[in-house]
Structure 1
């Protein structure tokens, strides 16, 4: 066995007997300073160790070709009805998708952006093949060529309350679809007049409103007519007055030849009692969603949802669109409020918190469009937004696979207004940067942390001891000199 005396021989830290040491005030002062310095540097080192360390690089975005990107949006149009509001997607590869509906919802709103009804989640408007009678089929039984009753702002309310069923054609003389509908509408009106004489029977009346006439501008606007021709169905005793003072009614989207119009009108009559209330057992006979739908309750619309697009330059276009209606560009106002517009899948709260922990600069980035109102003082103005987006990938060291790789997009937008002779739109053109920002969390070595702590403690202790020793020797030398001068 190795004796204790031999073990003592390898002692690196030889002890000096306490009786041979001398305490001094300078040594005590330096000891206090050294202790505070050690505590301060120890705290700074611990804080540095706990601080997140990341490395940021700019690399080429190597996403696979054909990979799709999600674009979320929530945009309100206070002067564009949900009836015709369409969301279209285009890109430079030739992809064209018009009026996407599966991932989009629409909510009617008033001019103050308040919801006035339930969400409207309908598909495309029915495709109309017969926009009117073919030549020779629209000849009227009476030679004057006028069968539908002309309504104006002065007499509309009276007739809408007088007849159990009122079918109204809102038209414009310049509209080609209105011109094609006119013969069949007049013929159907005369046929129904003969079968249900307003003076004797009075169960139905076919009427028309000229929205191009200045005197009817307010009437058409109050009924939210934005496309021509628009056929509305008013039922006395069945319409429900809402909190805004309007009656609920429906729009007709079926075929526009005289036979189809007469057949539809007769089914409405058959499903209505003499008192004007619907016969519930027969209501299903005309409850066909491909022919009629609820009419818009307001002149505004909020559209929200998302679109999956390819990672190539493209655009999302929001506009009034229909294959069987005409629009007056001079009366379409595309003013809108962007509540949100973002790229990429939405992160959960935990994921977003992790992203901002590693890359807090993203938490302070305000998207250029979000929360902004784009207003035009007059109609017929197209709003063009050009968006440049860049992707940021954040690589976390957390063990969960959901936190391994997080993606976040930021963008800048440049907006412009343009007045043209075409129907105005709100266009969001986007372009994705070929580069991306890669943020990786850097791991810290615990052994390196311990080494730094030892270096701090030993270094401060050693430096303070050297300074104290030098100062002590200097004082002794000064005293010796003073003593030498005295003798």
Structure 2
């Protein structure tokens, strides 16, 4: 057994009897100062330990998320109809996808961006194979010429009014004209407007009746609209809910379609004939017409990680468009790349890496407006986006844990005058490099070592200062006593 006297001999901290120690005001002041300094430096060291320290490097894109890139968007076009609005994707490798509908949704909106109904289910426009080429030129006018003066009276007079909105310069309108007039004459003979009065075929020249065509949101020619007396008026702000015809355009197909529209309507002309929609069969060639001239397009597309473009345009294989009447002004709510983050994950990201982010959606909240009818008409709007991938990882818990892969981009936009139909183009160019941000947390042992160094260092320095001050005061007293003697 080691005796207590031998054990006391290894004491590093030998005690001085309290009777031999002396307290002083200078020592008390230095002790208080030293304690405050220790607390302050400890807080600084704790803050430094808890802070996230990172290193940033630029490396070749490792493409851990595959060769495809997701693009999310929410765009509002106050003057582009959902009827013809198309989302197209192309890239430098030759990919060319037109009118993407599977992952894209459309909603009719007015000029103030207010939705005017539920989702617009237009789908892909059917291919029209028969345009009346097999019909000989017909010189008669079987259809009735309509204008803004008589349109409402005809639409309230006949249970079914089918109208061809056309333009004389339009190639497709001129191909439709013979078969349309012939079909109108056949329908007139079968359903005499005076004796029967269930259906009437009309036509509107949109170069002459510009305001009438704008009122019905006609943007492509020819557009065939089907108005149902009494059943197409909605309670909401008096909107008309009618249909568009996308079927074949030869005489036989047109006549067959008109026959189906009057199948459930009473023959008596004086009876207010309402279409029985409960018994109506679904006609693939007939779809709802847009209630307003604007469209909100939202959804996402997947593209290859190569330079390419997302194009929003008015598209149809059997309609013509007047470039001066197409306005692609738009508001950007969202246009981002990569996977969408939940709010919880995004908050965690901002906590770990507060300086990262803020550039992942540069176009959000921006508006690009073209004033229609002035020198700015026929304007294509192009956005050039350069994309850089930022990968954030943390090394906490002694292992690598991927937190987030974020795509940030720069955006430059321009308005370009063109003789063609205006479009909106989002040119994107992914960078082959990526930014790697890695968290470097401090070790706990390093923190404890620094805390001990702070306490010991402050205590030692305070002791030295106290010794110097105490000896200086003693020396001053001795000198004063010597003078007195």
- TM-score when scaled to structure 2? 0.94
Aligned partners of 1:73 and 1:304 also within 8 Å:
yes
The secondary structure found in structure 2 opposite 1:57 is strand
- The equivalent residue for 2:274 is 277
Aligned partners of 1:271 and 1:280 also within 8 Å:
no
The secondary structure found in structure 1 opposite 2:436 is strand
- The equivalent residue for 2:214 is 221
Mapped to 2, the partners of 1:363 and 1:419 lie a distance apart of 34
- The equivalent residue for 1:294 is 288
Aligned partners of 2:264 and 2:275 also within 8 Å:
yes
- The equivalent residue for 2:27 is 27
Structure 1 stretch displaced more, 32-41 or 78-87? 32-41
Aligned partners of 1:139 and 1:187 also within 8 Å:
no
Shift of 1:238: 2.0
Shift of 1:212: 1.5
The secondary structure found in structure 2 opposite 1:361 is coil
- The equivalent residue for 1:393 is 391
Aligned partners of 1:252 and 1:293 also within 8 Å:
yes
Structure 1 stretch displaced more, 354-363 or 81-90? 354-363
Structure 1 stretch displaced more, 70-79 or 12-21? 12-21
Mapped to 2, the partners of 1:199 and 1:443 lie a distance apart of 89
Alignment of 1:75-90 (within 5 A): 75-90=75-90
The secondary structure found in structure 2 opposite 1:71 is strand
- Superposed CA RMSD in Å reads 1.9
- The equivalent residue for 1:263 is 256
Shift of 1:242: 3.9
Whether 1:161 and 2:156 are equivalent positions in the alignment is yes
Aligned partners of 1:86 and 1:100 also within 8 Å:
yes
Mapped to 2, the partners of 1:409 and 1:35 lie a distance apart of 49
The secondary structure found in structure 2 opposite 1:2 is coil
Whether 1:247 and 2:237 are equivalent positions in the alignment is no
Shift of 1:475: 2.4
Gaps of 5+ in 1: none
Deviations 1:413-469 (A, max 9, x none): 111111111000011111122222211222221111111111111111110001111
Aligned partners of 2:75 and 2:330 also within 8 Å:
yes
Whether 1:230 and 2:223 are equivalent positions in the alignment is yes
The secondary structure found in structure 2 opposite 1:362 is coil
- The equivalent residue for 2:336 is 342
Deviations 1:52-110 (A, max 9, x none): 22222222212169611111111111011000000111111111111111111111001
Shift of 1:353: 1.2
Deviations 1:217-239 (A, max 9, x none): 00000000000000000111221
Shift of 1:403: 6.5
Aligned partners of 1:66 and 1:310 also within 8 Å:
no
- The equivalent residue for 1:16 is 16
Structure 2 CA distance for partners of 1:279 and 1:484, relative to 1, 3 Å: closer
Shift of 1:476: 2.3
Aligned partners of 1:83 and 1:296 also within 8 Å:
yes
Alignment of 1:374-385 (within 5 A): 374-378=368-372, 379-385=377-383
- TM-score when scaled to structure 1? 0.94
Aligned partners of 1:334 and 1:376 also within 8 Å:
yes
Mapped to 2, the partners of 1:66 and 1:32 lie a distance apart of 62
User: How many residues are treated as equivalent by the alignment?
Assistant: 476
Structure 2 CA distance for partners of 1:471 and 1:64, relative to 1, 3 Å: closer
Structure 1 stretch displaced more, 389-398 or 370-379? 389-398
The secondary structure found in structure 2 opposite 1:58 is strand
Structure 2 CA distance for partners of 1:202 and 1:118, relative to 1, 3 Å: same
Alignment of 1:410-421 (within 5 A): 410-421=408-419
Aligned partners of 1:336 and 1:375 also within 8 Å:
yes
